Amino acid sequence: MSAPLIDLVGVRKTYRNGSLSVDALRGITLQIRPGEYTAIMGPSGSGKSTLMHIVGCLDVATSGSYHLAGENVGEMSEVELAQVRNRRVGFVFQQFNLLPSQSAWRNVELPLLYAGVGRDERRRRALAALDRVGLGDRAEHRPGELSGGQQQRVAVARAVVTEPALILADEPTGNLDSTATADVLALLRDLHDGGSTIVLITHEAEVGAQATRRVVVRDGGIVADEATAGVRAP
């Protein structure tokens, strides 16, 4: 068995607001190996978003330890965290979060820009990533000229362009109709088949059923962790 890509041990996260403190996570221990397709599920307020922020190095735990690909994230400075996010994690958000004034390939090249990749290689790799999501012919279109499903596929291209160890998708189908949802889920499935490690955060059971492992979070703790069949989208 290979070393875990994600290794959370006793992770707690407490938000303080004056005298009020809320425990969003109450001791999470979770290992995810490379190549796994994991769905983190739970109702809103369960702490799954907080967990996603910590796994994605957007936030740090109050206590407990988190190693991503063997590196201790808890002890990193803000600059090092930015570097880890850039190199190790590809994000797909519910809101797409594309820059509206920039063409599709300009959006896709952004992580490469922050990685210090040269201009020509950035363009080449961005176009290749767009090809991978089937939007090679839409490279010069702006997000406003694309459908919701196409925008989310551009976002997926942006997530994979750096070939990160981990793809973190936060409710990626929350704003999509059923056809576009199927498109995006098929895309994630293809990435999984290609060997990518995917963590999918969702509250929809049929979306979660796509993954090969299901982790259910409730009240800041893990209440279920089971392998699933990983059915293909209908």
Partner 1 sequence: MTWLETLRTGWDAIRTHRMRSALTTLGILIGIAAVILTVGLGEGAQGQVSAQINALGSNLLIVSPGSSTSGAGVRGGFGSASTLTVGDATALGSKVAAPDIAAVAPITQRSEALTAAANNWTTTVVGTTPNWLSVRARALASGRFLTEADEAQDAAVVVLAPTTATELFGSTDVAGQSVTINNIPFQVIGVLTSAGSDSTSNLDDQAIVPQATASTRLFGGSTRTSVQSIYIEATSGSTLSAADQEATSELDNLHGVSALNQDFTITAQQSLVNTVTSVDRTLTVLLAGIAALSLLVGGIGVMNIMLVSVAERTREIGLRKALGARPATIRNQFLVEASVLGLAGGLFGAVLGIAGAIVVPHLIGNPISISPTATAGAIAVSIAIGLVFGVYPATRAARLAPIDALRSE
**For partner 1, which stretch binds (CB under 8 A), given 38-46, 98-106, 178-186, 218-226?**
98-106
**For partner 1, which stretch binds (CB under 8 A), given 78-86, 146-154, 211-219, 224-232?**
78-86
Taking Cα atoms as reference points, which of 12, 42, 17 lies closest to residue 223? 42
For partner 1, which is the closer residue by CB, 56 or 214?
Answer: 56
Please give the span between the terminal C-alpha atoms of the chain, in angstroms, as a whole number: 32
- Find the binding residues for partner 1 in span 51-70 (CB under 8 A): 53, 56, 58-59
For partner 1, which is the closer residue by CB, 175 or 212?
Answer: 175
Report in angstroms how near the CB of residue 72 gets to partner 1 at its nearest.
19
Work out whether 22 is an interface residue with partner 1 (CB under 8 A).
no
Work out whether 91 is an interface residue with partner 1 (CB under 8 A).
yes
Work out whether 87 is an interface residue with partner 1 (CB under 8 A).
yes
The torsion angles phi and psi of 20, rounded to 5 degrees, stand at -85, 130
In angstroms, the CA 100 to CA 146 distance is 11
CA 196, distance to chain mean position in Å, is 11
For partner 1, which is the closer residue by CB, 103 or 173?
Answer: 103
Binding flags for partner 1, 99-118, as an x/- string (CB under 8 A):
x-xx-------xx-xxxx--
For partner 1, which is the closer residue by CB, 67 or 87?
Answer: 87
Return residues touching partner 1 (CB under 8 A). Answer: 53, 56, 58-59, 78-79, 82-83, 85-87, 91, 93, 95, 97, 99, 101-102, 110-111, 113-116, 158
